[in-house]
Structure 1
Amino acid sequence: MENEEKGRKPRILCLHGFRTSGEIMKKQIHKWPQNVLDKLDLVFVDAPFPCNGKSDVEGIFDPPYYEWFQFNKEFTEYTNFDECLQYIEDYMIKHGPFDGLLGFSQGAILSGGLPGLQEKGVALTKVPKVKFLIIIGGAKFRAPSVVEKAYSSQIGCPSLHFLGEHDFLKEYGKELIDSCVEPVVIHHPKGHTVPRLDDKSLNTMMSFIERIQNDISENKEEVQSMS
């Protein structure tokens, strides 16, 4: 049983981009090599709100499309944000426990803010601590009310960030990286997308997975020795 636990795949909740879906994100992530996917237990969830306008992936991926929350033009005011946090927590209670989060675009912004909000007791109060993040095309929240809680201290869990050379969120992605204590960065030449992995990024990804697996095993051993 002990060996089985040591080899346990990290269980990851995947949060998709704005006006897409869990099914779409699954297709995006499945561009990665099978030897990466085999090491992770990925769970894809649809956001709580049906798409409230045109989706950028229309004509590329089939509907339905969903969004996590709504925002104003400056991204400084959010609608249905608390409902979104509650929805994620309810899903984690029902389908968890989860070890970490993987997010793309709006899902990456959410993922990057959740550890801080959890630490402050604002979100995910009834589920285990988020142990790591995988951020693709991410950025920081910009609503002042969320910012002060999400980033009041640096993001302490290990994090892997995909930064696209032509991503319109690139500069904001760097700001998020600067807010992390232990960021690992994969640079890629594409835009705002889930990139394929070349040899170099594959090695970085595999090292990160090995590290989080070790962390999960050590954490489990600590818990067992305390009980």
Structure 2
Amino acid sequence: MNKILMLHGFLQSDKIFSGKTGGLRKALKKLGYELHYPCGTEVIPANDVGLEEDTDAEMFGWFVRNKDSFTEFEIKPKTINYLREYIIKNGPFDGIIGFSQGAGLGGYLATNLNGILNLTTEQQPLLKFFISFSGFRLESKPYDGLYETNTITIPALHVLGELDEVVTEDRVMRLYNSWPSDKRTLLKHAGSHFVPNSKPFVTQVCNWIRTIAENNVGPATGSDLCSSIQEEKEKGNKKDSANNQLDDDLMDMMDSIGKL
């Protein structure tokens, strides 16, 4: 079975992200894909994000921004080593799907996965695709330059929430514009900061992956993938929004203190 690496967002975990992508996971399983969820190496204490210390939720991230700068951070060697070993043990992977901070990390890795993680092509063949949900470009100096110096050859689907106030449209578009024009597809939904699970939306994502897998070249094309999904603006989107409002509130709070 083909495999996809799933990178969760800030203040999430492997278990949380798995639970919030159930609809997508079931649909992709029917296409022959198995989803694997690593867990971020940075433990985020509850009191660091304004929560009670006795909260039951375990929260993780892939990196933590410097307190005095919104754009400066370090992806620590332990994170690189963990992901390398995870891929060797559980891979190889056809693609990467990330949400928020996980999508930011995934987009960076997609510029040169084998070079960044020191993987041979036997350990990890070249990726076939990357999907970013509310992802952003890593703009810290050690990482920002790689989007230009590395030749990006992987087709990417960039998903934008029209009401997302955590990772705003301009940040999503900076990552989108980092991709060659013939390798990128933009897909919008009418919700905010979450991975939509409604059937119409999941179908669009699966259709894009199917097109990539069948053609093995270039991005999926067509107006359906490049426009907002009307069903999401109605019943499906309302259901997704209601289920994810608590997450949005928490992520809004985190973004305001510059840690996302």
Q: Shorter-chain TM-score: which interval? A: 0.7 to 0.9
Asked whether 1:210 is paired with 2:237, we answer: no
Asked whether 1:156 is paired with 2:150, we answer: no
Q: How far, CA to CA, are the matches of 1:203 and 1:80 in structure 2?
A: 34
8 Å Cα contact 1:30-1:37 kept in structure 2: no
Q: How far, CA to CA, are the matches of 2:25 and 2:40 in structure 1?
A: 26
TM-aligned CA distance change 1:198 to 1:184, over 3 Å: farther
Describe how 1:72-111 pairs up with structure 2 within 5 A: 72-73=66-67, 74-111=69-106
- Structure 2: runs of 5+ lacking an equivalent: 217-260
Q: Deviations over 1:119-138 (max 9, x none)?
A: 6x333433322221011110
**SS of 1:129's equivalent?**
coil
Q: How far, CA to CA, are the matches of 1:125 and 1:36 in structure 2?
A: 26
Aligned length: 204
TM-aligned CA distance change 1:83 to 1:151, over 3 Å: farther
Match of 2:125 in 1: 128
**SS of 1:176's equivalent?**
helix
Q: How far, CA to CA, are the matches of 1:80 and 1:160 in structure 2?
A: 24
Q: Deviations over 1:21-56 (max 9, x none)?
A: 011111111144843442221111111222244559
8 Å Cα contact 1:113-1:151 kept in structure 2: no
1:197, CA displacement in angstroms?
A: 3.6
Match of 1:64 in 2: 58
Q: Deviations over 1:170-192 (max 9, x none)?
A: 21111111111211222111111
Q: Deviations over 1:107-165 (max 9, x none)?
A: 0000001022436x333433322221011110000101111124424532111121000
TM-aligned CA distance change 1:209 to 1:144, over 3 Å: same
Q: How far, CA to CA, are the matches of 1:57 and 1:25 in structure 2?
A: 20
TM-aligned CA distance change 1:171 to 1:35, over 3 Å: same
Match of 2:20 in 1: 28
1:79, CA displacement in angstroms?
A: 3.4
Q: How far, CA to CA, are the matches of 1:149 and 1:85 in structure 2?
A: 16
Match of 1:5 in 2: none
TM-score between the two structures when normalised by the length of structure 2: 0.69
**SS of 2:158's equivalent?**
strand
**SS of 1:162's equivalent?**
strand
TM-aligned CA distance change 1:33 to 1:157, over 3 Å: closer
TM-aligned CA distance change 1:130 to 1:82, over 3 Å: farther
Q: How far, CA to CA, are the matches of 1:56 and 1:128 in structure 2?
A: 42
Q: How far, CA to CA, are the matches of 1:215 and 1:66 in structure 2?
A: 36
Q: How far, CA to CA, are the matches of 2:206 and 2:23 in structure 1?
A: 15
Q: How far, CA to CA, are the matches of 1:207 and 1:180 in structure 2?
A: 20
8 Å Cα contact 1:116-1:152 kept in structure 2: no
TM-score between the two structures when normalised by the length of structure 1: 0.78
8 Å Cα contact 1:12-1:98 kept in structure 2: yes
1:87, CA displacement in angstroms?
A: 1.3
Asked whether 1:51 is paired with 2:41, we answer: no
- Structure 1: runs of 5+ lacking an equivalent: 1-7, 217-227
Q: How far, CA to CA, are the matches of 1:180 and 1:90 in structure 2?
A: 27
